[in-house]
Chain A
Amino acid sequence: MEVFKHFKEFKMDVLKEVGNIGAGNAATALSRLLNKPVDMAVPKVQLLPFEDISEKVGGAEQVVIAIFLRVEGDAPGNLFFILSPEVAKSLLKRLVGIHPGADGLFNEMECSALSEIGNILAGSYLSSLADFTNLSMSPTVPALAMDMAGAILSYGLLQFGQMGDDALLIDTTFIEGDQEVEGQFFLIPDPDSFAKIFQSLGVPVDHD
């Protein structure tokens, strides 16, 4: 894990650009779906203790909806697309005309629609990243969960868990005009994937 602590500013910038390109394309995809402009915050790249990662979405007990894809190929990792239940409802209403019940639960049809939305967005995130880096990155079938953020995100940390107590996270938020639709992408590349990403982009790996 020491390696990551000594990442120079420059490398962090490269990773920010990685997040920017991925989420930028996903935002475009969402903007087409909604037929409205979608804004994006500047990506954050941080080495965070496990505890603090769920703080980014409101704490370990915060209920969130997450679409999770395992990235396979040259630079494996975990990709989460995270929404609040309210945002998920608003997306369903506007994209597929479904009005979920007030009980806060989603039925099979609604889950399936959300999964598909996540799949489209995550797919565009990954394919632009793959084009940019020239690495093969293919997503697994998306899995959807609505649960405590800590329980969900810990799944993305297992690969890092073998190496230390921190994970390097590329975090991008996007917002649609009136903030009705806000979502977060977390890309957590496996520890060994960073060297491959840097190499593919011509960043020298050896001297940090």
Chain B
Amino acid sequence: MIEEQSIVKVGMADMNVVQRSGTIRTVGLGSCIGLTMYDPQLKVAGMVHVMLPSSDIAREGQLNIAKYADTALPALLDKLVHLGASPSRIVAKMAGGSQMFAFAGTGDTMRIGPRNVESCKLKLAELQIPLIAEDTGGNYGRTIELDASTGILYIRSVHTGVKEM
């Protein structure tokens, strides 16, 4: 169940961490990815809301590292390690990456969801963090919430209700 308690919010192109108790959530994931990393022993949980697959396309002056899959994942891992989590225990879960609007034969922008998923998986493999659960794709939005005391990820969508993994 998604209940109101101490909830740490993660905005779009943002990341955050919680320890021991409380939950961390991000709302309204469309083509964006909500990726969580969790150390079950220390109960340290981190979440990032990734918007774009690669910082190569960035044209901004000051790079927001939480926005791009290739920069956000290593940064989140660093944050967890900084709090004492061990990279060998950390496991990842992710949700999102949907294609909200189905257009025939349009360019890369419209395929951004699947590209975000691919990019996150690639980076996780590179960081040697196992992806133990995912709920990606489809054409609907998701809100996700990770419980730091259990490591369970709750995923809510308008059409299918709440599921946990």
Contacts and interface: CB of A to CB of B under 8 A. Distances in A.
A binds B: yes
A149 interface: yes
Contact of B143 (A61, A146, A165): A61
B103 A147 contact: no
A161 B72 CA distance: 14
Given A141-B103, A143-B101, A143-B103, A148 B112 contact: no
B100 A158 contact: no
B28 A154 contact: yes
B29 interface: yes
A146 B11 contact: no
Interface residues of B, number: 34
B27 A60 contact: yes
Contacts of B112: 158
B109 interface: yes
Given A154-B28, A155-B30, A145 B100 contact: yes
Given A158-B109, A162-B59, A148 B51 contact: no
Interface of B: 11-13, 27-32, 51-52, 57-61, 64, 67, 98, 100-104, 106, 109, 112, 139-143, 158-159
Given A148-B28, A161-B51, A163-B59, 18 more contacts: A50-B11, A61-B27, A63-B158, A141-B104, A143-B102, A145-B100, A145-B101, A146-B158, A147-B100, A148-B141, A148-B142, A150-B30, A151-B29, A151-B141, A154-B12, A154-B51, A155-B31, A163-B60
